[in-house]
Amino acid sequence: MTSSTPRLVFLLNAAQRRLQQLVTAEQLRLTTQALDAPTPAQGGLLFALHTLDGQTMGELSLALDLAPSAVTGLVQRTESQGWVIRATGDQDGRTQRVWLQPAGRALIPHLRGALKRINSRITHGFTPEELAVVGRWLGHVQQCGNPPETP
């Protein structure tokens, strides 16, 4: 590795920590507005359902890039807040679909505002072309999947 090669793993981890700080600040902002602020994962679930309501747990697992067991817990916690509800599918009694409730739908504009503020801060000073490259690279990293098996 040459000295001009960016320390991508370090930079990505450090950036994730800073991003989490921004998200936490936005959660606090929502809380001061007398709103129950969803966690980032809960916000992702609400956005996924706002885009396509009534998704199955499997569909949500793919949409959120989470293990099915993680989606189950996430839906349970979000359901306990009254933001979503699970119901058995019409065609198959084993399939559960998740539906956005009015309380969850009411959070969407607030979450959009929070994302707009975060995106404005993290993209400031970059051209659309530069951001396209960053987006492409992050998508590539996401698609890399599991590390290769070691012998």
84-122 confidence digits (pLDDT tens) = 999 986 777 778 999 999 999 999 999 999 999 999 999
Count of the separate structural domains present in the chain: 1
Q: Give 76 or 2, the one with higher predicted confidence.
A: 76
What is the distance of C-alpha 39 from the center of its chain? Answer: 9
Looking at the DSSP bridge assignments, the partners of residue 96 are: 88
Does residue 143 belong to any structural domain of this protein?
no
Does residue 32 belong to any structural domain of this protein?
no
The answer for residues whose C-beta is within 8 angstroms of residue 35's C-beta and 6 or more apart is: 107, 110
Determine what percent of the chain is predicted with pLDDT higher than 70: 91
Does residue 95 belong to any structural domain of this protein?
yes
At position 51, the amino acid (one-letter code) is T
What CATH number is given to the structural domain containing 69?
A: 1.10.10.10
- Give one DSSP letter per residue of 124-151, joined into a string: TT--HHHHHHHHHHHHHHHHT-SPPPP-
pTM, 2 dp? 0.81
